[in-house]
Structure 1
Amino acid sequence: MAARRRKMDRIVVLACIILLAGIIHPSSCRSSKPSVKSSCGYQSCHATKPGFINVHLVPHTHDDVGWLKTVDQYYYGSRTGIQKAGVQYILDSVIEELQANRERRFIYVEMAFFWQWWEEQNDSTQDIVRDLVNQGRLEFINGGWCMNDEATTHYADIVDQMALGLNLLNDTFGECGCPRIAWQIDPFGHSKEQAFIFSQMGYDGLFFGRLDHEDKKQRMASKTMEMIWASSSLGKTGWLFTGVNYNLYQPPPGFCFDILCSDVPLIDNKKSKEYNIDQRVTDFLKYCQQQSEAYATDHILLTMGGDFTYQDANVWYKNMDKLIKYANERQANGSRFNLLYSTPSCYVKSLNDVKKSWPLKTDDFFPYGSDAHSYWTGYFTSRPAFKYMVRQGSNLLQACKQMDSALSWNRATNKGDVNVMKRAMGIAQHHDAVSGTEKQAVVQDYQSRLHEGVVECQKTQTSFYQSQLPIRGQALPDVKYCQLNVSQCDVSENSSRFVVNIYNSLASNVDKYVRIPVANGESYQVLDPDGNVVDSQVIPIAAGVHAIPGRISTATDELVFLAAQLPPIGSKSYYVEKIAKNHRRVSFKSKLQRFIPGQDHIISTDKMKVRVDGTTGLLSSVTVNGKEFFVQQEFLWYPGYNGDNESADRRSSGAYIFRPNGTDAFPMRRTMAAAIITAVYTGPLVQEIHQFYDSWVSQVIRIYRGQEHVELDWVIGPIPVSDKIGKEVISRVTTTILQSDGTFYTDSNGRQTLRRELDDRESYTYTPTEPVSGNYYPINSHLYIRDPLGEQQATILVDRSQGGSSLVGGLIELMVHRRLLHDDSFGVEEPLDETAFQRGLVVRGSHYLILSDGPTSARRYRPLAQQLYKQPHLSFVPTALHFNEWKSLYRTQHQLISRALPENVNLLTLEKRTDGSYLIRLEHIYDVEEDKVLSAPVTVSLHNLFPGFVIMSAEEAMLGGNQFRKESQRLMWNSMDRQYSSKRPTKFPDVELQPMEIRTFIFHLVRDNRLDK
């Protein structure tokens, strides 16, 4: 009996611990605030009429989160001379009009704006909005922080920005705040990975407005404007119903009832000389008939809204009320049209009820051409410096969320606000932000927001180190951060002793070559966490980096050393000190090779050899592990077409459009040598060839000991335009893999790989009209070519979004920078002529070139792509302490997880949630049949993954983290094409991952008290 009482006491204590720790699962999509009984969802839809063409009128507004005006200018309605748009008035007006008539509906999309408005409302207004949401009269569609771009975004950022909006909706509105439909009506092309993300977030459908003009024409003729998108190799779990809007996202011509429009209102007073209701309804129904002929069912969706419409919602609703009334009255006289207020989700439910078999789509919707000469492929590269800033911000955010989690479970204070970075990064994913298609003043606002986020993240990093590194409570000196992208660092340049903290946010051990600027002419010694001397090398900074505008540094050298086996989700500290030049373990000074005119230049390491032609100055061959690949790389430029945009064939190249004047790209130099070799440096760790192409283009070809890729580190700009010619600069790699002949492979948002065919489209008959830009695709991670037998492959990895292609067999090209003098007339109304520091923009970037045997290619580029995206983060601490003194006071190595995950698994996300729980996302980084071994399903155990803690409870969630997987009920669809099956997952904490699968878990941690004994 006593033993039983003791057992019961332990159970009661454990229950108390669980309650105190907040380990209570909230129901899926349940609000934290009680609300009235809800009737939202599909049950709130208005009834349709069988035997009629049901016309679903969808009142909506499309509110760009920055474009011609900044986010705040759009929200508050300022700068009306640029655009008459004020989002706060839209929401005020719509809420008032929805209350006036229970039949009315409205959808809202951009949570960045809605949340700004919501936080300004009083309790009474918030209660009204909750009631409207619970009744299904106000419905959230999409639900992300913004309507993100789909070409230039990394998949991790798409997931983050969607999750940010979805979870705020969940916390505020519960189940009725969960969007069911994705609404990507304005992005300029649509990716397969984006569709996969939506499917894994539990969406029932996706609608968009933009697709290639030929694709749309053929779909309208064949009534295939709606389809099932098979977005991955995961089977039906990756299926997503997808519909193309008939008129982009605009209302029928002549039926825009808005203060921004000049269309004639509906006048039903027969005593008025302006009476027009009969003719207006007739015209509207003619349009409905025309649209219905392009769709396969008796349901059509009409987008009743546009850019920043509904600032006076009464104008819209008063006219639509009349339209519905008088159109439906005609049913008594034989009309087959039934008009109703609706939403995209109600429309999808109506289509699902039809039980039709739909065509299956397996490719994507790139590139997008709005006409025969307007291919929206320039924005894949536009504003390359901002694209890099966004990519670096993404990497930093992932690390900060991990550090914030560690601070939380160790009950330490985080002096930074990670939410600032989450929201800044969320805004940056907008389809007129990272895309580079905004005005110059707007991109500067985006950059300012990101900078604020970076500052807060650095506070989090500092809090993490101050919490984790001290051993005896000794306060850690101030942690400093440097601008290493321009090789500038006050600490390393001016301190005799300093510590470099290197944080690895990958769940695998990583080797990272560190490069930091140091004082000129000095020698250094580097010690690892155990005090062992690490090989190091001092090498001159390239002249092109020296000349980057805004660089404030006198350093001419960089110290290079290998940070080996960085711990998974953890940090290592390296101790660096100046030392006498005659010291036995001083850093190795790089040797400058002697030039012999006309002779080839060769650099080599233990695994690689690079040859540069002595006559042309260009890369000529790369040898990897004894196998030689003949390859050439050079920079060229396309002249941008200067037109007046009065017709399709006079379209200019601009922020959106890439349209070269001709098909030939011009070399930088017209002399005998295409490039001049200015220096060749050799040493035990790194070897480099410095190239000079022109006064505005230079490059370093670099190889490191132990690595099997070539790094191409380039500096481009200011692009000269004194000749009045805009220029599109490319890096072109030519190989002997000639059999690739029109076939190449590109990533989808940094994840899946898609096969491309020159001058061909999988889904429709394509007419080549722009031989260069019509074959460009977005590259966020990798582009490769290979021979048909798969024996050789050439892969290039990018450090930001760029446009790329293979226009000739054996050739790869990537657009790295562009400066244009004419607008392309798609709304920005200013040319893409970026400046910084009173001159044309200068950009520094890098490509990784991998030459490999086909069977091993995936395991060469997949991990390296992850490392390029999640580069380790460096921080610096100046100190007067000797190494042994430092080590006695501070930890020099620390990791947040107990072990590395399998090599084909990535820990995509680890973050703290507002309710005290934690979210983790695990992904399989290989696709089906990419690798004979690593493409197999893999099981990961999370048991004892977090040292010192026990996972007390866990539940699998949908990808957005806003609902539990077991409670997600997606609509089921039939397809006229092949069927897929999916396997049941293993039971937590053993997580089975199929190729390209991402799984999300919400869990609670409690401290393992056994460690205290």
Structure 2
Amino acid sequence: MVLNFNWICCIFVIGAISLASARPSLRADTCGYQTCPKEKEGFVNVHLVAHTHDDAGWLKTVDQYYYGSRTQIQEAGVQYIIDSVVDELKDHPDRRFIYVEMAFFTRWWQEQSETTKSVVRELVNEGRLEFINGGWCMNDEATAHYVDIIDQMSFGLITLNETFGECGRPRISWQIDPFGHSREQASLFAQMGYDGLFFGRLDHEDKKERLAKKTMEMVWSGSDSLGKTLFHLHVCAQASLFTAVNYNLYQPPPGFCFDIYCNDEPIIDDPISKDYNVEQRVTDFLKYCQEQANAYATDSILLTMGSDFHYQDANVWFKNMDKLIKYANERQTTQGSRFNLFYSTPSCYTKALNDHAKTWPSKTDDFFPYGSDAHAYWTGYFTSRPASKYMIRQGSNLMQAKLFILFRCIQGVDTSKVGELYTMKDAMGIMQHHDAVTGTEKQHVAEDYALLLHKGVLECQKIQTAYYGKELVIGSQSLPKVSYCQLNVSQCDPSENNSRFVVNIYNSMARSVDKYVRVPVKSGTTFQVLDPQGNVVSSQSIPIAEYVKNLPGRVSSATVELVFLASQLPPLGSKSYYVQPVARKQEKTSKLNNKSSIFNEKVSVEIDDVTGLIKSVTVNGKTTQLKQEFMWYPSKSGDNSNVNQRASGAYIFRPGGNAPLTIPSSSGIKTTTYSGELVEEIHQIYNSWVGQTIRIYKGQEHVELDWVVGPLPVEDGVGKEIISRVTTSISSNGMFYTDANGRQTLLRKLDIRDSYPYTVTEPVAANYYPINSHVYIKDAVGNQLTMLVDRPQGGSSLHNGELELMVHRRCLYDDAFGVGEALNETAFGDGLVVRGTHFLILGDKTNSMKMTRSLSHELYKQPQISFIPTTLSFSEWSALYKTQQQSISRVLPVNVNLLTLETLNQEKYLMRLEHIYDVGEDSILSQPATVSIEGLFPGFTIISAEETMLGGNQFKKDSNRLVWNAASTRNEIFGQQKWDERAIPAVQLKPMEIRTFIITLVRI
């Protein structure tokens, strides 16, 4: 889809208008729970849920799945599924169907005639076609960042809100296929206003325990910080969510799959046919229903009648279910059967359970890791396709920056030259799918995902170029060409081939930040850097590491990088630095082959002269003995014929041994030390496929580890899984802490599950957890080691005082969970090479958490850097172009993040503010925060601020979530907190709270 810029400046205007406006509510009084079928008291009520699970890419690309092409890979065509379902529903008022993935439905909707759209609206109004979940995709919960989860959900929810009004608003989250489930995801769903969550996958031992104890349904507390706030007669837990585990994943009962791709017998009800089978088929079906009912706490059960890409010929499914319902229910009078079957939805099932007024068990931890059997722990995908994971993280940062840029709603520019954001929002929404960001798709699909993201990046760069063209130009002249570089491979034509150039740095955070900028430049030239006022900024030239210069695909002759500090980058604003050649020497970098330490005024790192590894790190005078090294696990091979022969692959991590091996090095780790005023670093070379730069910048308290790994050698026939391991003297006592989707922090215990008895069968893989932001260990006296990551990775603490992070994987066998390929990525004719960054933090708990929260946001929201070659002098440049600007009048408190600022139309904007600290992380910063938004946006006056649910698709005052009784030590009840309806000039935020507003601004 191509959007003109008038829509770009008002993207989602339709969602905002339908929330507030004069548009008809589309019979909101008749849809929702009011349309649910009534259960029969005294019966086992069987809710049959007709559904299709449509992956947004997996074995085929998104386009191939939608159009139904490449049938030799998989017979699946989403457009035909929706066509067929609509045809079957419109003439049969008793039938119901649920649909999930808006990335597919939106495409289908755009192709329909007004007649078909009218039919579909009627089906939605009557509750016969119900949208469940409603995100752009069904996102992964381990490797998706919370910002991306919120964005992709909001994208789908607001689209539904505009298209169908209140009747299109999903009430249930439906995460039936992701490979483990996150506590933060539950919290986000609750804040979006959902009444329940259904999923299919949980650890095999957990499921066995829950089936035996009839605890397959529970109330899940998604956050300690957002736990319980007294309100009127109820206790509000705004992050709690009723949660149900499906009995059979999301598949139909065995023997009762009626899709055209299935081989199960249909219901044959002609009594004169020799194949007549009604009695036996109904008996078998009800026997299964009884087995399922025996595992659940009420006489209401939900059966999933569908699977992957089912209902391409919906008549086959519905015709057989019609018969099953008819003949099973006839037995109520003819045989005294206690089973009552009917078409239903997860929403109607949830409402039925709520009507039982039962007290449900509670849940406070999460559902990681997921083991489908004793030797299949799905923890490999936490790291699979690390280059793709990095590209997604960078794409997320880029898209957020462009949303903030569009807040200024560029006017008076040639719209044909301005990029559109839909391409990037669509790509980023799709990339959160549980076979995209996870890295569990076929290789040709991974390449298509990369292409989608690349197209989105190009459109975002057009937006940024247009922004600079408007914001930086003082007069009527045009801005010279703005260029964007591949700094992740130290390659940049504008800086390498021009003596004078301008570096534009855009900061998308709502606070000022400092950023050390590294720019590859031509060798033999001395450069000087000028700040926006023309003052000389200290700079340093430092050699590019050999393993960086040799990165495959790098097209650059640069051998050095120019380093300078861009200080106090303005909030939601940019600074331009001018670089020019000078005759004098710039800050010299000394190469010290025999030096074994680097330091600044706060931190020093000492290297062992024999091993070449870090020996100790000193922070503010306190020394910690520490070793950091790269190691590897051999990937287990196998034919997957049984659980003992399971191979390590894209989904699961199964090492061929319980201890990692040393990276081979023929002559030991070679180290070279470079020292200078701004940065000191040690280049480590293990061998031809592992290298690392240990780096300390002036004024910083953390150590940066810049690593390059690959191509992983597999000529020996053994797959390899590479880790970075840090060993310290910190007594962690078998406990470590990991983030959940980049937000709250959860305690992990080695070889222990709090929810169920756990049998140790895979001592390494079963103790791996997803890391999106940070992982740390600490001791009883407060010493803490923290590692920050720049992309999702798997990690653990397998021994006292250790942390390990998996950075790269190359497996030679498929693990037989459907993808049908080994995870054997190549690029430029060899195994994939990956470059990444870890931040290492040492200190006490309070200082470490301050740095963790601050640095993790800075690592995620890296400033956007662009270049403009010029022949003008600095004085000529600064006379024609602005060198600094910002979009907000003041910085926000350090514990508050401006999460979203998105243009809805010329006056309305979607704004989210979040508290970035958890309860107890800091005595001051973990306290509630207050943000005044009055006068925050220069040039605008705030007319109103109306609070919505987290998804931006429903006003908070209109939300009325179901109330549940949850078993706990206090036997508390949670309901929906009420909020002010109109203008809120000051926003109060509790720890970990996100508040969402539609604000109305007018230009002064």
Verify same fold: TM over 0.5: yes
Tell whether the 8 Å contact from 1:382 to 1:818 is kept in structure 2 after alignment: yes
Structure 2 residue 118 is matched with structure 1 residue 116: no
Q: 5+ residue gaps in structure 1?
A: 1-20, 1009-1013
Q: Is the 8 A contact 1:31 1:175 kept in 2?
A: no
Q: How far apart are residue 587 of structure 1 and its match?
A: 2.4
What is residue 616 of structure 1 aligned with on the other side? 611
**Is residue 2:424 matched to residue 1:424?**
no
- Residue 953 of structure 1: CA displacement? 1.7
Matched, 1:593 2:595: no
Residue from 780, 784, 788 that aligns with 1:788:
780
Summarize the alignment of residues 408-557 of structure 1 with structure 2, pairs less than 5 Å apart.
408=410, 415-557=418-560
Write out aligned runs for 1:31-110 (5 A): 32=23, 35=26, 39-110=30-101
User: Is 1:284 aligned with 2:285?
Assistant: yes
> Aligned partners of 1:32, 1:886: CA distance in 2, in Å?
51
Q: Deviations over 1:167-212 (max 9, x none)?
A: 1100110001100000000000000111111001100000000000
Corresponding position of 2:6: none
Q: Is the 8 A contact 2:666 2:687 kept in 1?
A: no
Please say if 1:742 is aligned against 2:734.
Answer: yes
Residue 990 of structure 2 corresponds to residue 998 of structure 1: no
Asked if the contact 1:802/1:816 (under 8 Å) is kept, the reply is yes
Equivalent pair of 1:212/1:370 in contact (CA under 8 Å):
yes
1:633: which partner in 2? 628
C-alpha contact (below 8 Å) 2:664/2:686 kept by paired residues: yes
Q: Which residue of 1 aligns with 2:385?
A: 383
Which one of 409, 412, 419 corresponds to residue 407 of structure 1?
Answer: 409
Q: 1:829 to 1:847 in 2, by over 3 A?
A: same
Map 1:761-772 → 2, pairs under 5 A: 761-772=753-764
Unaligned runs of 5+ in 2: 1-11, 228-236
| Partner residue of 1:685 out of 658, 678, 687 | 678
- Contact 1:804/1:812 (8 A) holds in 2: yes
Q: Which residue of 2 aligns with 1:267?
A: 268
The whole-number CA distance in structure 2 between the counterparts of 1:853 and 1:958 is 37
Deviation at 1:419, TM superposition (A): 1.2
The structure 2 residue matched to 1:205, chosen from 196, 199, 202, is 196
Quick check: 1:30–1:170 contact (8 Å CA) kept in 2?
A: no
Matched, 1:657 2:652: yes
Partner of 1:720: 713
Residue 341 (str. 1) matches residue 343 (str. 2):
yes
Quote how far apart the aligned CAs of 1:409 are: 7.8
Q: Distance in 2 between matches of 1:36 and 1:974?
A: 31
Give deviations 1:479-535, integer Å, cap 9, x for gaps. Answer: 110000000000000111111000000111100000010001211000001100000
User: Compared with structure 1, are the counterparts of its residues 825 and 25 closer, same or farther at alpha carbon in structure 2 (3 Å cutoff)?
Assistant: closer
1:131 aligns with 2:122: yes
Question: Among residues 586, 598, 601, which one is paired with 1:603 in the alignment?
Answer: 598
Q: How far is 1:788 from its partner?
A: 2.1
The alignment covers a number of residue pairs equal to 976
Contact 2:26–2:165 (CA<8 Å) still a contact in 1?
no
Cα deviation code 1:886-920 (max 9, x no counterpart): 11111111000001000000011111125751111
User: What letter corresponds to residue 279 of structure 1 in structure 2?
Assistant: Q
Q: Matches of 1:480 and 1:42 in 2, distance apart?
A: 54
Report whether the alignment pairs 1:558 with 2:553.
no
The one-letter code of the counterpart of 1:788 is: A
Counterpart-to-counterpart distance in 2, 1:913 and 1:344:
32
- Measure the CA separation in 2 of the matches of 1:22 and 1:619: 54
2:677 and 2:450 map into 1 onto residues whose CA distance is: 39
Give the secondary-structure state (helix, strand or coil) at the position aligned to 1:69: coil
CA distance in structure 2 between the partners assigned to 1:988 and 1:35 by the alignment: 29
Instruction: Name 2:8's counterpart in structure 1.
Output: none
CA distance in 2, matches of 1:263, 1:160: 40
Q: 1:256 to 1:25 in 2, by over 3 A?
A: closer
Is the contact between residue 238 and residue 977 of structure 2 (CA under 8 Å) also seen in structure 1?
A: no
- 1:5 corresponds to: none
Task: Give 1:607 shift.
Answer: 1.2
TM-score under structure 1 length normalisation: 0.95
Match of residue 218 from structure 1: 209
The one-letter amino acid of 1:450's match is L
- Contact 1:758–1:806 (CA<8 Å) still a contact in 2? yes
Partner residue, 1:956 = 947
Aligned equivalents of 1:854, 1:245: Cα separation in 2: 40
1:828 is matched with which residue?
A: 819
Please tell me the residue identity of whatever aligns with 2:647.
S
8 Å CA contact 1:30–1:173 kept in 2: the answer is: no
**Aligned AA (2:758):** Y
Task: Look up the equivalent residue of 1:483 and give its one-letter code.
Answer: Q
Distance 1:258 1:854 in 2: 56
Find out whether 1:196 has 2:187 as its counterpart. yes
> Following TM superposition, by how much is the alpha carbon of 1:988 offset from its aligned partner in structure 2, in angstroms?
1.0
Amino acid at match of 1:861: T
SS in 2 for 1:963: coil
The 1:58–1:702 alpha-carbon spacing in structure 2 relative to 1, beyond 3 Å, is same
Q: What is aligned with 1:311?
A: 312
Aligned to 2:234: none
* 1:303 counterpart SS class: strand
Aligned CA-pair RMSD: 1.7
What pairs with 1:932-1011 in structure 2 (closer than 5 Å)? 932-977=923-968, 978=970, 979=972, 988-1008=984-1004
d(CA) in 1 for partners of 2:979, 2:164: 30
- Amino acid in structure 1 at the alignment position of 2:756: Y
Mapped partners of 2:466, 2:894: distance in 1: 30
Q: 1:368 aligns with which of 340, 363, 370?
A: 370
> 2:197·2:242 contact (CA, 8 Å) conserved in 1?
yes
Measured in 2, the distance between the counterparts of 1:263 and 1:708 equals 64
Q: 1:759: which partner in 2?
A: 751
Deviation at 1:36, TM superposition (A): 6.2
Instruction: Using the TM superposition, name which of 317-326 and 914-923 deviates more.
Output: 914-923
On the 8 A contact 1:281/1:326 being kept in 2, the answer is yes
Q: In 2 relative to 1, CA 346–251 (structure 1 residues): closer, same or farther, beyond 3 Å? A: same
CA offset at residue 37 of structure 1?
7.4
Separation in 2 of the partners of 1:34 and 1:205? 23
Off by >3 Å, runs of 4+ in structure 1: 21-38, 408-414, 670-673, 978-987
The 3-state SS of whatever aligns with 1:795 is strand
Counterpart residue number, 2:837? 846
The question of 1:148 aligning with 2:139 is answered yes
Distance 1:63 1:30, change over 3 A: farther
- Taking a change above 3 Å as real, the CA distance of residues 639 and 623 of structure 1, as seen in their structure-2 partners, is same
Question: Is 1:300 aligned with 2:301?
Answer: yes
Mapped contact 2:27–2:167 kept (Cα < 8 A): no
**Maintained 8 Å contact 2:33/2:347:** yes
